[in-house]
Structure 1
Amino acid sequence: MLTRRGFLGVLGGIAAGATIAGYDALAAEHPAWAGPIGLELYTVRDRFQKDPADTLKRVAAIGYREVEIGPGTKPAALKGDLRAAGLTAPSGYFEAPKTLEDWKKSVEQAHAYGLSYIVIGDNPVLSADAWRRRAQFFNQCGEVAQQAGIQFCYHAHFHEFAKVDGTTGYDIMLRDCNPKLLKMEMDIFWVTYAGADPLHYWRLYPGRFPLLHIKDLRKGVKISPQQSPKPGGPNPFAPVGQGRIDWPLIFSHVHEAGAKHIFVEQDECAPLPEFQAIKISYEYLRGLRLS
């Protein structure tokens, strides 16, 4: 099974206590989600590796209308496969840059794909000062992307929510980065796994979260901002609607996030086949009258 890093390499070769009944009046005035439902292609990475065109067609047949891609195949070929499947790709997940020169190459590739958003994740750092330095670098990266007409976004996992010097890396990025230069792709699973609250951040920083990963946390999984789920342990991921996350609550407040695109993602689908898992997720979201 490919890791996310391995997947990118392959492509390179080719609110606490609230209840549903207690929604606030502001949330009730807003539609839950009026846009299309998308899929992060990492979910079907093994099949995509073998047959990109067929995989995209099968994704579209379920009802998905957008995908999030990784860097890799020739833009013309990928654009053709997307067009044939009736899909669009507004965003792409790229490797975190070490230098601005590396970043400029990624932005050029994102521009060739026609992406509106370029997304990265990154490795943990151990101090608040290191996070502050990273935030300043991300401001520079955001300027490069902005010049190409692309919005730079950061995708956090769990370690960004670990306490460092009385704060967290996630809070430092949101506080120190220019909100026009860096926005967030929030992964609801990882925020929840880290013991944080998506709604808390949406209320503190409204409009800073144009991209969301819709991923469920299996019931009974121990949460931690310090440690990743153990390799070889129980699969912590579940089809959307079959885990512990309160999706009606999330979507009743999604307007606060400023979300423009949502992508279903399930890092590991076993024991279900990938397409069965993503169909369950899609049908659950449709049942919430999304899309």
Structure 2
Amino acid sequence: MLKRRNFLKNATVLAAAGSSPIASTWSAAAPQQTKKIGVQTYSIRRELKQDMVGSLTALKKIGFSHIELYGYEQQNKKGSVLGYSLKEYRKILSDVGLEPTSSHLEPPLQSIYKFGDGGGTGKGERSIQIEAYTKQNIPAIMEFWKRAIADHQELGIPVMVQPAMPVVNTVDDAKLVCDIFNQTGELAKQANLRWGYHNHSAEFKRIGLKRGEDWSSEMAITPTSYTSEIFYDFLLTHTDPALVFFEMDVYWAVMGQCDPVSYFNRYPGRFPLLHIKDRDILGSTGFMNFASIFEAGYSKGGLERYYVELEYPNPAGSTSLSQLESVKRSYDFVANAGFVK
């Protein structure tokens, strides 16, 4: 077997020549495109595990200019991306010609997932949570972010985004989360990086009522309980705009029964990044009003960058397209949309 170093060297050369197994499928040159369209690499997670270099090369040939990476992790306080060292991963991106502009990562706390359906039927919620922040685990959380900041400086990635919601049952829990978010944002700012938060749908539930009470009824509020408030709004009003930004996943906001446009209007300038997502391939379902979302994002939300993402491409029975083909068709939708800059 080739040693890892030789494999990486050879794979990079093959990809540049269009000879990588996945890259060769996308042999056509990238279309001439003035738009800078990004993609969250989670969208092609299966292909990345099969052929990292070829898959990233395919994204470049499709026309994407930059990526938001997934797969960063720390083992024994040493950072890596999907098994590659930081140096190896940065070289691959440089050779391929993709700019890493953002990264998804979260502190190493117990994960609590609730996937629901989220795809073709639109039923259920999408909740990616981690265990509650406490006085006991805060030191470990902050050490994680200090290491991550140094690693992302080495990777040349200027933006870090947390896509996992700490468990919150009361307003006091929410206040602690906001405090830690502000502290993390301050650490990033001191390193000339930016730090933000990415939602799913659970953030649009209310907090403040005692556990076991009926969240759906205002009559459940008692003199000894907090006034309820949507957690996402609480985050927006209790984090410092100079330290914490928000990357709205517009699809999961809609699935949380909230309107992205209303948030852009109510909290102007807080949403420099967006995840552009649909139930399936972008623009194929008619479920999302992307024109209004982009218009309000530019005029009110402070939109700077957006990332195409597919979490549930091709629900069962719809098509047999690969993740890369689904991403390509989504790219074509954005590239041809007159409302996207």
Instruction: Check whether TM > 0.5.
Output: yes
CA distance in 1, matches of 2:255, 2:157: 29
**Partner of 2:221 in structure 1?**
none
CA distance in 2, matches of 1:122, 1:76: 26
Return closer, same or farther for 1:96/1:200 CA change in 2, 3 Å cut-off.
Answer: farther
**Partner of 1:101 in structure 2?**
143
CA distance in 1, matches of 2:63, 2:309: 15
CA distance in 1, matches of 2:297, 2:103: 21
CA distance in 1, matches of 2:164, 2:327: 26
**Partner of 1:117 in structure 2?**
159
CA distance in 2, matches of 1:80, 1:57: 13
**Partner of 2:193 in structure 1?**
150
**Partner of 1:192 in structure 2?**
254
CA distance in 2, matches of 1:117, 1:212: 13
Q: Deviations over 1:160-200 (max 9, x none)?
A: 11011321111111101110110001101110100011111
CA distance in 2, matches of 1:247, 1:159: 22
CA distance in 2, matches of 1:39, 1:121: 15
Give, as a single letter, the amino acid of the residue that structure 2 aligns with 1:84: D
Deviation, 1:253, is 1.6
Aligned runs of 1:1-291 on 2, under 5 Å? Answer: 35-70=35-70, 71=72, 72=81, 73-96=84-107, 99-123=141-165, 124-165=167-208, 166-216=228-278, 237-243=279-285, 244-255=287-298, 256-270=300-314, 271=319, 272-289=321-338, 290=340
Deviation, 1:158, is 0.8
Q: Deviations over 1:209-233 (max 9, x none)?
A: 11110001xxxxxxxxxxxxxxxxx
CA distance in 2, matches of 1:193, 1:41: 22
**Partner of 1:14 in structure 2?**
none
Return closer, same or farther for 1:254/1:277 CA change in 2, 3 Å cut-off.
Answer: same
Query: 1:35–1:261: 8 Å Cα contact kept in structure 2?
Result: no
Query: 2:205–2:230: 8 Å Cα contact kept in structure 1?
Result: yes
Query: 2:188–2:194: 8 Å Cα contact kept in structure 1?
Result: yes
What is the SS of the residue equivalent to 2:306?
strand
What is the SS of the residue equivalent to 1:107?
helix
Deviation, 1:35, is 4.8
CA distance in 2, matches of 1:170, 1:280: 31
Deviation, 1:122, is 2.3
Give, as a single letter, the amino acid of the residue that structure 1 aligns with 2:324: F
Percent identity (aligned): 29
Q: Deviations over 1:272-291 (max 9, x none)?
A: 31111111111111111346
What is the SS of the residue equivalent to 1:253?
helix
What is the SS of the residue equivalent to 2:100?
strand
Query: 1:207–1:257: 8 Å Cα contact kept in structure 2?
Result: yes
CA distance in 1, matches of 2:311, 2:107: 19
TM-score by length of 1: 0.78
What is the aligned length? 238
Deviation, 1:134, is 0.4
**Aligned-pair Cα RMSD in Å:** 1.5
Structure 2: runs of 5+ lacking an equivalent = 1-33, 73-80, 109-136, 209-227
Moved over 3 A (4+): none
Deviates more, 1:189-198 or 1:202-211: 202-211
